[in-house]
Amino acid sequence: MTEHEFRHSTLKYITKRIEARLEEKESRVKELEFLAWRTGYYVMPAIAVVFGSKGKNKYPDNPLKEKTVVVEDMELTEEEKEEWRSRIFGKLKDMGDKLKKNKLNQGE
């Protein structure tokens, strides 16, 4: 927040900005904790593979690889098509809401 914004803002607006910033920091801390946990999840099996019994331990599969099978000839019913459409539009709406929230938090 610039000095000009600060001097021309209401107390309610400043309070909302502070709350949003605190929520953003809490979210970042939770994200970092998750990343640390996930790193440990892969480091422990890697160490076990290197120093453990041969063949007993194996490195976990990559969770980022998609394991879905797509059949090109697969036909969807109208109900399934509508479900997919609603999921996609729901995700797009969520993305739009997040963008709007980010713009509001940045003071645009």
Other Cβ atoms closer than 10 A to 16: 14
What confidence score (pLDDT) does residue 46 get?
79
Q: At 56, which amino acid appears?
A: K
pLDDT by 10s per residue, the chain, length 108: 788 887 888 889 889 989 999 999 999 999 999 988 888 887 888 788 778 776 777 766 666 665 555 555 667 788 888 888 888 888 888 888 888 887 777 665
